[in-house]
Amino acid sequence: MASAFIVIPAFNEAKVIGATLVALPRTLGGIDEIRVVVVDDGSTDGTADEVRRVADERVVLLRHSLNRGLGGALGTGLAYAKREGADYVVTYDADGQHAPEDIDRVLEPLRAGAAEAVVGSRLIDPTGMPWYRIFGNWGLNFMTWLLFGMWTSDSQSGLRAFGRRAIDTIDVRMDRMEVSSEFIKEIRRHRLKFAEAPIRAIYTDYSLEKGQSNWNAFNILLRLFMHGLLGD
């Protein structure tokens, strides 16, 4: 009996979290149990109340009493999934930028045994992605490769899937946006079998406003550099 935990970090996403949860697939190929783990990262806009309103028995709500950032929230979701014995973990953005059917797409290489960690890449087919986002993402892909020696076409993707060995071994230590590059580092550090799956990004005014800007890319680089300097 295989279980998949969909981990959704959410910080002040009250406007969209309900719709994101309702749109999640009811079934996934080869999966007997789905759990949706929403990590409310210290939201102040009633995100937790919106999650509670969703009539879905699969939903688990974990609440951070303080905002700890994307990495902190993903780490909490992963720790919970590990404790509950999840077979697969999928990380999924709360802002509605992922297509629900892409969850099956990132799980496929895991079920087939072709990979232990999968990143859903928006840049294999970047149709509809603003050019400045493509530019910023390639810059961070290059820096991730330079720092950690592993190339991926979308190091900053929020849609990822991990199998059992990845869940057990990946140790998330970075608290903020730089965690996306840290996942790539961890995949390389533990020599996990890696694959990319093409996914579609849905850009709305809301997701563009909430997502990473190119200015954030500089913050991410600075934080990655500081983590390296401090030997994290």
Partner 1 sequence: MILKILTVLFALFAIARVVVRYRRGGTLTAEILFWGCIWAGLGAVVFVPQKTDHFARFIGVSSGFNALTFIAIAGLLFAVYRLFARVATLQRDLTKLVRLLAIENAERPVEARAQPSAAPAE
Please give the residue ranges that form the binding site for partner 1 (CB under 8 A): 39, 51-52, 54-57, 59-66, 68, 72, 75-76, 79-80, 83, 173, 175, 226-227, 229-230, 232
* Eight-class DSSP state of 159: -
Which CB, 102 or 175, lies closer to partner 1?
A: 175
DSSP letter for each residue of 94-139? TTS-B-TTHHHHHHHHHHTTS-SEEEEESSSS-TT--HHHHHHHHH
Per-position b or e across 178-205, b if 16+ CB within 10 A of its CB: bbbbbbbbbbbeeebbbbbbebbbeeee
Cβ proximity to partner 1, 173 vs 191, nearer residue? 173
Q: How many CB atoms lie within 10 A of CB 3?
A: 16
Phi and psi at 196, nearest 5°, equal: -115, 145
Of residues 54 and 123, the one with the C-beta less far from partner 1:
54
Closest to partner 1 by CB, 60 or 150: 60
Among residues 144, 165, 161, the alpha carbon closest in space to that of 228 is found at 144
Beta carbon nearer to partner 1, 168 or 232: 232
